[in-house]
Amino acid sequence: MAGIMRRLEKFQTVLEQLPGPVYRGTVTACSGQTLRVRGLERKLSAGDRCDILAQDGRRIASEVIGFDGASSLLMPFEAAEGIALGARVETQGTGASVKPHPGWIGRVVNGLGEPVDGKGPLPQGEIARRLRGVPPSPYSRRRLGQKLETGVRALNVFAPLCRGQRIGVFSGSGVGKSTLLSMLARGGGADVAVIGLIGERGREVQEFLQETLGAEGLKRAVMVVSTSDESPHMRRQATYLTLTVAEAFRDLGLQVVCLVDSITRFAMAQREIGLTAGEPPASKGYPPSVFSEMARLLERAGPGTERQGDITGIFTVLAEGDDHNDPIADAARSILDGHIVLERAIAERGRFPAIDILKSVSRALPACHTPEEEAICREARRYLAAFEEMRELIQLGAYKAGADPFVDRAIELEPALEAFLAQKADCRASLEESFAELGKLLGHAGAAGLPEEEAAAELVPPHEPALTHELPPELLADLRAMEEDGGIVIEEPIMKEARP
Ligand X SMILES: Nc1ncnc2c1ncn2[C@@H]1O[C@H](COP(=O)(O)OP(=O)(O)O)[C@@H](O)[C@H]1O
Q: Around 359, how many Cα atoms within 13 Å sit in the side-chain half-sphere?
A: 15
Q: Please report which helix (H) or strand (E) contains residue 24, including its range.
A: strand 23-31
Q: Compose the 422-461 pattern: x for residues touching ligand X by CB under 6 A, - for all others.
A: --xx------------------------------------
Considering only 86-94, 172-180, 282-290, 401-409, which stretch makes contact with ligand X by CB under 6 A?
Answer: 172-180
Asked if 176 touches ligand X (CB under 6 A), the answer is: yes
Q: Which is nearer to ligand X, 176 or 253 (CB)?
A: 176
Q: Which is nearer to ligand X, 204 or 372 (CB)?
A: 204
Compute the distance between CA of residue 317 and CA of residue 296 in angstroms, rounded to an integer: 16
Compute the distance between CA of residue 461 and CA of residue 372 in angstroms, rounded to an integer: 9
What b-and-e string marks burial along 269-297, b requiring 16 or more CB atoms within 10 Å of the CB? bbbbbbbbeebeeeeeebbebbbebbebb
Q: Compose the 175-214 pattern: x for residues touching Mg ion by CB under 5 A, - for all others.
A: ---x------------------------------------
**Among residues 36, 147, 177, 186, which is the contact residue for ligand X, using CB under 6 A?**
177
Asked if 179 touches ligand X (CB under 6 A), the answer is: yes
φ and ψ of 393, to 5 deg: -60, -45
Q: Please report which helix (H) or strand (E) contains residue 432, including its range.
A: helix 431-441
Compute the distance between CA of residue 210 and CA of residue 102 in angstroms, rounded to an integer: 22
Q: Which is nearer to ligand X, 203 or 424 (CB)?
A: 424
Asked if 206 touches ligand X (CB under 6 A), the answer is: no
Considering only 54-62, 158-166, 169-177, 297-305, which stretch makes contact with ligand X by CB under 6 A?
Answer: 169-177
Asked if 178 touches ligand X (CB under 6 A), the answer is: yes
* Cβ within 8 Å of residue 139, ≥6 positions away: none
Compute the distance between CA of residue 281 and CA of residue 351 in angstroms, rounded to an integer: 40
Considering only 23-31, 68-76, 174-182, 355-363, which stretch makes contact with Mg ion by CB under 5 A?
Answer: 174-182
Size of the site for Mg ion (CB under 5 A): 1
Q: Which does 103 bind (CB under 5 to 8 A by kind): ligand X, Mg ion, none?
A: none
Residue 242's closest CA among 226, 254, 231, 229? 226
Considering only 141-149, 171-179, 248-256, 467-475, which stretch makes contact with ligand X by CB under 6 A?
Answer: 171-179
Which stretches of the chain bind ligand X, using CB under 6 A? 171, 173-179, 352-353, 424-425
Which stretches of the chain bind Mg ion, using CB under 5 A? 178
